Structure formats: C-alpha cells, structure tokens
Structure 1
C-alpha cells in the first residue's frame, strides 16, 4: 500500500488527523503530515510537500489542505482524497473576512481568531462540544499568528482549480460533512462532476472537520480509498 501524505487545513496541525493516523498505522500504512506553515503561497507549499514526500504516495487534504493537494496533483497525480474543500478561488467577501482575521493576528489579538472561526468549523450540533473546541484552540496555538497570516495570504492568492480538475485521472474520493458551512456539499458535488473518476462521500453529522467530528467514518473511507 502506498504511503499517505496528509495536508491539514487552516490553523490545523497533525492533530486534525490523529484518529486516522493512529488507525492507519495499525494497518501498516506509513503516514506523513505535510508542513503548510512555512510558505506564503500554495505553489511554494506544494513544492515543499513534493520535496519531502516519498517518490510515490497517496494524498489527502482537508480545506486549505485540499487547495494544496489540487496544486500537487497538477505535478504528481497518483491517488487523491479531498476533504471539505473547494476548487473555487476566494470570493470578495471571503477575502475581506480573511483580511479582518489577519488584522487581528497582526495587532496582537490572535486569541480572538479561533472563537470567530470555531462556529463555522463544526456541525451545528457540536457548537457546545468543549473538548472539540479545546482541541481546535490547541491546534491554533501550535500554528501561531505568523503562520496563520502566511496561510491566509496563500489561500487568498490561490488560483481557480476548476479548469484543471478534468485532467485528474487517478481515483479520487471527495469527502464532505453534510453540515459543513464553510465549504458546503454543493461545492463537493461540483468537484465530483469535474473530476472524471471521483466518488462523493458525505459524512452525516459532521461539519468542516469530519476527521475529528466523525473520526470512525472518515477512517473507514480512507481505508476503502487506500485499498482501491
């Protein structure tokens, strides 16, 4: 089975995939988590990923990680999983919202960023989940304000990936929480329609972070995808 490279989302660390990493390690899968905190463009992050990855690998990215994964696929198509992401570029409103969060981080108010984002990160039924809120906060602290700003600037400048999706020839699984409000299911369906060999897998009861909200369901999808 090919090694697996995982790409976390904005403000997230390897803890985003901790349930899957533990389960897949038991299956003998070698898992590597990409570094998406050092660079200020999606292209540069993809270059770093490819420089550190094995010669052949399966690739899965969530949210911002999906933007990076689509850039990697232009250069090294093998096997792809996209989780709660979008092929579209930022809208004007999204860029304005990111600018406000960047301003908070750069003015010493980084502690206000996670409380602003958490309600959008998780399913509406998980809003009062203290353990999940704490984990998201821990990942944000580990990321830090400077890396957060780099990530946001990379996301703002990302290209429209839709014109290139038709060239993805490898088996592709698209996963989306059925309650994701940041990259809702209709964006996942759009990618499925554009990628020739794509399969869509909605995750019930999950929002934008299904790897943590419904870990067993996502682990099962990863096992099926890796074994295909």
Structure 2
C-alpha cells in the first residue's frame, strides 16, 4: 500500500489556492497544503521558505511557475519528497522572446496595471474553446487581483531568473506525474514529453481540450490523474 503522504501544492504565477480548489476538495484521504509563493523574487528563496513550514515528508505538485518551484524543492530537499507532479510546466529557461514578454509584464505590474496584464495573458492561459467562458475568466482575474501587483512582479522576476532544470530531471527518483493540456500554448505538450522522457519514473498524461490552466479547465481529468499518481 502506498505511503499516505501529505500533498503540498504550489500555485502558478498570479494564482492563489483557488487554482487547486477542485483538487483539494477531491483529496479526502490526506492533508493538503497549498504553499505561499508570493514573498520572494527568486525561485530558490520561494522553495527555501516553503520548506521551513512543509511537512517532514510530502507529495509535491506544482503548475507552471509552481512546477519551477517543485523542481527547485527537489534540488534543495530530495529526501523529503516522496512523489512529484509537474503540471503544465517546463524544465527549460525562457527563450529570448518569452523573456521579453515577461519584462513587459513586469513593467505593467510596476505600474499597477493588473487589468492590462489579465487582458494580455487570458487568451493564452486557456484552450481556445474556453476564451469566452466568463465564469472561468472571473476566477482567473480574481486570483490575479488577490495576488496583487507587487507580488506578481516578484514572481515574474523569479521566473525570469530561474535556472535550467533539464540537468535535474534524471536525478528525480520518485514516482512522477507529468501532465499537460493538449492545447497548452504557454508550455506545450512537446515540453512535457521532454520532461517525461528524462525522468526515470515518469508517467505522461495529456488532457484533451485543456489549455495551460488544466486544474481549472478540466478538473475531473486532473483529479483522476492525481489520484492514480498518489497511489503509485
């Protein structure tokens, strides 16, 4: 029988624990903790702070920026992580074009222009058939507002300065789930395949009809994948 580890989840850029509301509700057999990743402008510092209050040993999941933190947590404390899930994320650093976009988002954040940030990001965050889903958009906008402009800028600076995690992937020795929306524009399926191929104990799950925010767009599919991963 699988060890009943607490589940620690790290949110994405501009997101709160609401990103994982459906997953938290579905996991009834163990403690679920959603980490705070808003207080630092480096991925390493985020991970170090999370470790200060995390359970002694835990299962670990992160989406997008949360995945960058997950990989850093593995580098800092592999002995404390029993399982690892990488959702809609990548191991590569930003390409120059992506870095330029991120710098523009930092400028908007420094000016407090959260509405402009949301309008720029929203079409790329979800699958094309969800762009007119106003209920979903309200959730995404609300999370960004709750994170706030200052924390958003810190997070963007942290992402911009992150290390290349590809050398880390072969060192991951625990059961690992790599999950990606089939319509993810920000971290496309090829990047998920790259990670899954490099991690010795990885299972790759593709979620049809989902973009980058799979936990919100297709919660049932993500819940099923997480349930299988947790009992591996």
Which TM bucket (shorter chain)? over 0.9
Question: Does the residue aligned with 2:180 lie in a helix, a strand or coil?
Answer: strand
SS at match of 2:123: helix
Of 14, 19, 25, the residue aligned with 1:11 is 14
Q: Does 1:28 align with 2:29?
A: yes
Distance 1:34 1:109 in 2: 25
2:57 aligns to what? 56
DSSP 3-state at the match of 2:148? helix
For 1:30 and 1:124, how far apart are their aligned partners in 2?
A: 34
Match of 2:218 in 1: 214
Measure how far apart 1:208 and its partner are.
Answer: 0.2
Distance in 1 (alpha carbons) for counterparts of 2:130 and 2:35: 27
Q: State the shift of 1:64 in Å.
A: 0.2
Q: Distance in 1 between matches of 2:231 and 2:167?
A: 29
SS of the aligned residue for 1:5 comes to strand
Residue 108 of structure 1: CA displacement? 3.1
Helix, strand or coil for the counterpart of 2:204? strand
Structure 1 unaligned spans of 5+: none
Residue by residue, what CA displacement relative to the aligned partner does 1:103-148 show, whole Å, maximum 9, x if unpaired?
Answer: 1111232221011101010001101000000000000000000000
Alignment-derived partner of residue 157 in structure 1: 161
Question: Residue in 2 aligned with 1:123?
Answer: 127
Q: What is the aligned-residue RMSD (CA, Å)?
A: 0.7
TM-score between the two structures when normalised by the length of structure 2: 0.96
Runs of 4+ in 1 over 2 A off after TM superposition: 75-78
Number of residue pairs matched by the alignment: 226
Tell me, which stretches of 5 or more residues in structure 2 are unaligned? Answer: none
Partner-residue secondary structure (3-state), 1:86: coil
Q: TM-score, normalised by structure 1?
A: 0.98
**CA separation in 1, counterparts of 2:113 and 2:56?**
41
